[in-house]
């Protein structure tokens, strides 16, 4: 299907169409790239620092450090806190693998806490019983664009003197009781993967914090641990944000609030028009501002439902078909099926429908009508 939807009769809908966003701000993006090409300052050019300052201001944090991906944001955040072999980090089993893989790549052990059935985020009331003497941090994941219930998490962390790293990869612009995602914990971690609400032209990420000490350490860690150049007091990684990515993200950041509001409008339209259907629609908690990185529903007979959508050229996805505690590479942790019932149920029932700022009402109607046809046959 063409990225420019001008047909009167919709015949298919993509899960996301990045070309539409690009064409809406093409001159801004092309100009930003040309500036970097003219300067040839591809590594840590001035745009990186400019973007860091703008991003920190947007998130209401003191600092923001540009890094090479959302995964490296998590890894560097963990390393900056001294997380290492023998430590434990509590997190959700219902998330993208990077959350868990980053913990494992420090040598630490991930400890899973089940999720809330409505928000798909970690259940704060189950966290405390999983804390041990080895627990050094909690990573709540703000899944699909909605913040986890942070106040009780922060209270538990303070009580036990452990750190909180927000996995904000899917939630730029989201708010919890008026506070921005990435501003509440000790550190916040963002991804600029192209399909994110704020997406680059490849991989990119950001770490936010309010600590001068952590900021300085993460700056060192992202350039192999060096300061000054060629002297390495700590062991880091090659984890810098490219100048071209920063230049593009500066332009896109100007539009993020509008794009998130459009996502909220599109989500509201889906929810209103699908009233009465035999499926569970996403719901934002009353204290949250949900930015709908994904619009995720629960359905019975998911395989048949997906087959029906795809037969009608509607793209959809499953995020995530295997909860992390049941991943093969993590079998050594000793978890088994039934240990995280809500995460396991979500993995079997959830489907992501097409949503992006530029999706048209006609496309949404086509998706909704196709779902209604499925419900009639059900």
Q: What does the pLDDT look like over 4-57, one tens digit per residue? A: 343 457 889 999 999 999 999 999 999 999 999 999 999 999 999 999 999 999
Please compute, for residue 149, the number of CA atoms within 13 A of its CA located in the half-sphere on the CB side: 17
Q: What is the mean pLDDT of residues 158-172?
A: 98
Output the pLDDT for position 377: 64
User: Whole-number mean pLDDT of the chain?
Assistant: 96
Residue 289: beta bridge partners? 175
Output the pLDDT for position 378: 57
pLDDT at 79 over 90: yes
pTM of the model: 0.96
Whether the Cβ atoms of residue 75 and residue 236 lie closer than 8 Å to each other: no
Q: Where are the domains of the chain?
A: 24-253, 256-377
Q: What is the mean pLDDT of residues 87-112?
A: 98
- For the chain, what percent of residues have pLDDT higher than 90? 96
Output the pLDDT for position 2: 37
Output the pLDDT for position 10: 83
d(CA 199, CA 248) in angstroms, rounded, equals 9
pLDDT at 199 over 60: yes
d(CA 154, CA 300) in angstroms, rounded, equals 35
Q: Provide CB contacts within 8 A for 206, sequence distance 6+.
A: 52, 55, 64, 65, 66, 67, 73, 189, 190, 192, 241
Q: What is the mean pLDDT of residues 68-77?
A: 98
pLDDT at 174 over 60: yes
Nearest to 156 by CA among 178, 131, 179: 131
Q: What does the pLDDT look like over 300-358, one tens digit per residue? A: 999 999 999 999 999 999 999 999 999 999 999 999 999 999 999 999 999 999 999 99
Q: Which fold has domain 24-253?
A: 3.40.640
Q: Which fold has domain 256-377?
A: 3.90.1150
Q: What does the pLDDT look like over 127-162, one tens digit per residue? A: 999 999 999 999 999 999 999 999 999 999 999 999
d(CA 294, CA 319) in angstroms, rounded, equals 9
d(CA 91, CA 87) in angstroms, rounded, equals 13
Q: What is the mean pLDDT of residues 234-241?
A: 97
């Amino acid at each position: 299907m063409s990225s420019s939807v001008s047909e009167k009769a919709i015949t298919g809908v993509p899960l996301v169409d990045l070309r539409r966003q690009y064409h809406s701000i093409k001159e801004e993006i092309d100009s930003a790239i040309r500036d970097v090409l003219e300067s040839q300052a591809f590594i840590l050019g001035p745009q990186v620092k400019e973007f860091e300052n703008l991003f920190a201001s947007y998130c209401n944090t003191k600092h923001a450090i540009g890094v090479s991906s959302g995964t490296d944001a998590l890894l560097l955040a963990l390393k900056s806190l001294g997380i290492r072999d023998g430590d434990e980090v509590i997190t959700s089993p219902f998330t993208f693998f990077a959350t868990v893989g980053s913990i494992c790549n420090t040598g630490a052990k991930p400890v899973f806490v089940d999720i809330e059935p409505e928000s798909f985020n970690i259940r704060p009331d189950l966290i405390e019983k999983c804390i041990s003497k080895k627990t050094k941090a909690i990573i709540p994941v703000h899944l699909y664009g909605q913040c986890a219930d942070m106040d009780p998490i922060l209270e538990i962390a303070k009580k036990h003197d452990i750190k909180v790293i927000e996995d904000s990869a899917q939630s730029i612009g989201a708010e919890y009781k008026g506070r921005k995602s990435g501003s509440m914990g000790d550190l916040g971690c963002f991804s600029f993967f192209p399909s994110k609400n704020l997406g680059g032209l490849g991989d990119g990420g950001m770490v936010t914090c309010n600590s001068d000490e952590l900021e300085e350490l993460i700056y060192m860690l992202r350039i192999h641990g060096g300061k000054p150049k060629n002297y390495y007091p700590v062991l880091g990684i090659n984890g810098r944000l490219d100048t071209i990515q920063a230049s593009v993200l500066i332009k896109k950041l100007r539009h993020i609030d509008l794009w998130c509001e459009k996502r909220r409008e599109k989500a509201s339209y889906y929810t209103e028009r699908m009233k009465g259907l035999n499926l569970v629609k996403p719901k934002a908690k009353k204290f949250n501002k949900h930015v709908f990185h994904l619009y995720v529903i629960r359905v019975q007979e998911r395989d048949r439902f997906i087959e029906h959508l795809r037969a009608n050229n509607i793209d959809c996805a499953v995020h995530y078909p295997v909860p992390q505690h049941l991943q093969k590479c993590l079998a050594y942790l000793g978890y088994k099926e039934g240990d995280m019932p809500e995460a396991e149920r979500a993995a079997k029932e959830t489907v992501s429908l097409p949503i992006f700022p530029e999706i048209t009402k006609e496309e949404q109607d086509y998706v909704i009508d196709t779902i209604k046809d499925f419900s009639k046959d059900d």
